[in-house]
Amino acid sequence: MNKKILFISSLIYLTSLSLSAQIETRQAGFRMGYRSGIFYQVSQEAGNAEIAYNAMLSFQKSGVQATALKIIYETSFGDISPNLVFSWGYGGHAGFTYSDHVRFMGEDYYFPDDRFCPLFGIDGWVAAEYRITDIPLNVSLNVKPFVELTFPSFLKVTPWDFAVSISYVF
């Protein structure tokens, strides 16, 4: 129970960070891919770029995972469309899963019953996002590669976490 309270408190803290900017944009949406989930993002303009902080909650394999990302919207594809932007970023995630086995180096290792397996990892982010200005909606094609350490002692490298994200801007 204490782990759940700590997890929820951390998520509330991450989503309530103030950026102290004159113009803030918030968006909430969902990501559909290998690690699907719901997210909340706050962004502000910073010079020629736009900086965003993204908090995502994912559910997978009888577990929960919280991801925090810093995303930089740096380049606009103005020649193609003024509403198409490129972004990159980085962050990390933490969570847990329940499993009766782990897969390591092509081999399956089984436990006598389901085990609580905490996990921690680092994430990258690359995306092309289209911003629909007539309605406050953003659509993004993104990849979020990650390296993850799950206890008991197993390392997972996933360079191909492709997804489509849809968010409402407010």
d(CA 27, CA 138): 9
- Which CATH number covers residue 76? 2.40.160.20
Locate 161 and state its tokens: 């976490």
Buried b (16+ CB within 10 A) or exposed e, 20-48: eeeeebebebebebebbbebbbbbbeeee
Length of the chain, in residues: 170
Its domain, for residue 80, covers 2-169
For the chain, 170 residues long, give each residue's pLDDT as a single digit of tens. 566 666 666 656 555 555 444 567 899 999 999 899 999 999 999 888 899 999 999 988 789 999 999 999 987 777 888 889 999 999 999 999 888 877 777 788 888 888 888 999 999 999 999 999 899 999 999 999 999 998 877 788 999 899 999 999 99
d(CA 83, CA 87): 13
Please give the tally of structural domains in the chain.
Answer: 1
